[in-house]
Amino acid sequence: MAQISVGDSIPDGTVAYHDDEDQMQNASIHSLASGKKVVIFGVPGAFTPTCSMQHVPSFIEKSDELKSKGVEELLLISVNDPFVMKAWKKSYPDAKNVKFLADGSGSYTRALGLELDLSEKGLGVRSRRFAMLVDNLKVVAANIEEGGEFTVSGADEILKAL
């Protein structure tokens, strides 16, 4: 699959998450993003250093500012199971504005063309680090990192696109 880019429509796919009542739910990405301005951001792995200490906190800290600029949903996707994503979300007391979505098999990440093979580090195939601004399923900005970098996919870079 070709890598997602500006102007593309995002593919649909199913992800899992725990709702506010702590029940596991399956949802299609299109059901979460259709007719809305959303940020979809992806990380290589839950509880990993850059993801946990920089990337995710950037969106939690800037969530009110993003929402004030019309962003309706902040969707975090990681190739992890929904129980890991639930535990990860609980580690952030202020994460109420971010949905932690599990792409357990990596099928949605594959559909985006954003796989990252971290097998030699013992992590298997994961997601590249990225952040996309999506308006009614169309990619408006696609900030995709190379390797293990964290330079273009934080909340401040998405705010510049708004």
Q: CATH number of the domain that 84 lies in?
A: 3.40.30.10
Give residue 114's pLDDT. 95
CB-side exposure of 16: number of CA atoms within 13 Å? 17
What is the count of structural domains for the chain?
1
> Does 20 map to a domain?
no
How far apart CA 58 and CA 142 sit, in angstroms, is 17
How far apart CA 79 and CA 44 sit, in angstroms, is 7
Give residue 143's pLDDT. 97
Active-site residue (options: 51, 101, 102, 142): 51
Which pLDDT band holds residue 126 (cuts at 50, 70, 90)?
confident
- Residue-range definition of the domain harbouring residue 92: 43-143
Among 51-60, 97-106, 118-127, name the one with the lowest average pLDDT.
118-127
How far apart CA 70 and CA 78 sit, in angstroms, is 24
* 30 has catalytic annotation: no
What are the tens digits of pLDDT across the range 37-84? 999 999 998 998 898 999 999 999 999 999 999 999 999 999 999 999
> Does 149 map to a domain?
no
What is the CB neighbour count within 10 angstroms for residue 82? 19
Mean pLDDT of the chain: 93
